Structure formats: structure tokens, C-alpha cells
């Protein structure tokens, strides 16, 4: 992992932009029966990054992922489709992990905390949807886990 040479102000601004584009999640997680407690899936999904931070690893965000987050967030703003905002948030988080097939699988698992999954699984009871969300988020986290371990051992 590259070491950060300067304070990542722009990267954090992009993360804040993506978070703003996804602020509807708070409403969905509170009120939508199929999205309730989906924030737990976000907590599980984002765990690899938290562990990286707690270990004090010096990390640098991928400019490509950050650029993709800006494009997706802008699309969300212009089209008023929340889904693009959620993708932007996932990309802005994923930018802090080195791109690999494992990190891409973990990125795909971000759908676990998005309302779109609740919409796709609308025919299932809310409890089942939450269990599937957590299982998917955990699978994504496990995907990235060995990568973090290897990076730490280097």
C-alpha cells in the first residue's frame, strides 16, 4: 500500500460528497420494512477498512475509484436516482482498498446495505432480507480479509 504523503482532503471531500448523495439511506433504514437495520450490513461491510485504520496502516485512495465515485454521484444528482448515490458511496469507500479481484467482489457485496436489494427481495419477509443482507456483507468482508492480513504481514 502506498504511503499517504499529504492529508487526503480531496479524498475525504469526495467521500463526504458521496455520503451526501446517499443521505436518503437514513430514511430508508428507519422506515422501509425491507431496508430496516440494513445499516448493520454497512457496518459489517466496511469492517475491513476500519481494521486497516485501527492497525495504523498508511493507505492511499485509488484515484480511479474516486473518479468513478464522482461520476456516479453526479449521475445520481442529475437523474435524481438514489441508486447512483449509493454506488458512489460504495466506490468512495472501496477506493481506500487496493484494486484486486477480491476487493471487486467486496465492492459488489456493497449491494447488501443498499435499498435496491430490499426491492429485489421484496417478496421475502423483512427478517429473511436482513439475514441475507448480513450474510452477503459478511461474505464480502471475508473476501477482503486475507488481503488485509497479507498486506499487514508484508
Partner 1 sequence: MNSRAQKILFAGLLLAGLLALAWDLVPLPDAQNRIANFPTAGLGFSSREMPLTETEKSIYGAAQVIKRVYRANRQNFVVVIIDGAKNRHAVHDPAYCFRGAGWTISGGRPLALPGGAGKIMTLQKGNETREAVFWFSDGRVRYSQVSRCWWQTALRRLTFGASGPDPVLVLVQPVDSGSMDWEQLPTQLPGLFDF
Decide: 94 and 14 in contact? Cβ < 8 Å.
Answer: no
Q: Annotate 93-143 with DSSP letters as a single string.
A: HHTTS--SHHHHHHHHGGGGGSHHHHHHTTTS-HHHHHHHHHHHHHHHHHH
Q: Does 61 bind partner 1 (CB under 8 A)?
A: yes
Instruction: Give the total residue count for the chain.
Output: 154
**In the range 11-40, which residues lie near partner 1 by CB under 8 A?**
11, 13-14, 17, 24, 31-34
Q: Does 67 bind partner 1 (CB under 8 A)?
A: yes
Q: How far apart are CA 139 and CA 108, in angstroms?
A: 11
Stretch that binds partner 1, among 41-49, 71-79, 103-111, 135-143 (CB under 8 A): 71-79
Q: Does 92 bind partner 1 (CB under 8 A)?
A: no
Residues of the shown chain interacting with partner 1 in the complex, contacts defined by CB under 8 A:
2, 4-6, 8-11, 13-14, 17, 24, 31-34, 60-63, 66-67, 70-71, 73-74, 77-82, 119, 122-123
Amino acid at each position: 500500500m502506498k504511503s499517504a504523503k499529504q492529508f487526503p482532503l480531496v479524498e475525504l471531500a469526495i467521500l463526504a460528497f458521496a455520503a451526501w448523495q446517499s443521505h436518503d439511506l437514513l430514511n430508508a433504514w428507519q422506515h422501509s420494512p425491507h431496508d430496516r437495520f440494513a445499516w448493520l450490513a454497512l457496518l459489517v461491510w466496511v469492517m475491513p477498512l476500519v481494521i486497516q485504520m485501527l492497525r495504523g496502516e498508511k493507505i492511499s485512495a485509488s484515484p480511479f475509484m474516486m473518479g468513478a465515485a464522482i461520476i456516479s454521484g453526479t449521475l445520481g444528482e442529475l437523474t435524481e436516482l438514489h441508486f447512483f448515490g449509493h454506488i458512489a458511496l460504495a466506490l468512495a469507500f472501496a477506493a481506500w482498498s487496493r484494486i484486486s479481484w477480491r476487493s471487486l467482489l467486496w465492492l459488489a457485496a456493497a449491494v447488501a446495505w443498499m435499498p435496491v436489494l430490499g426491492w429485489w427481495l421484496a417478496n421475502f419477509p423483512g427478517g429473511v432480507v436482513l439475514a441475507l443482507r448480513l450474510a452477503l456483507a459478511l461474505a464480502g468482508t471475508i473476501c477482503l480479509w486475507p488481503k488485509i492480513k497479507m498486506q499487514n504481514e508484508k
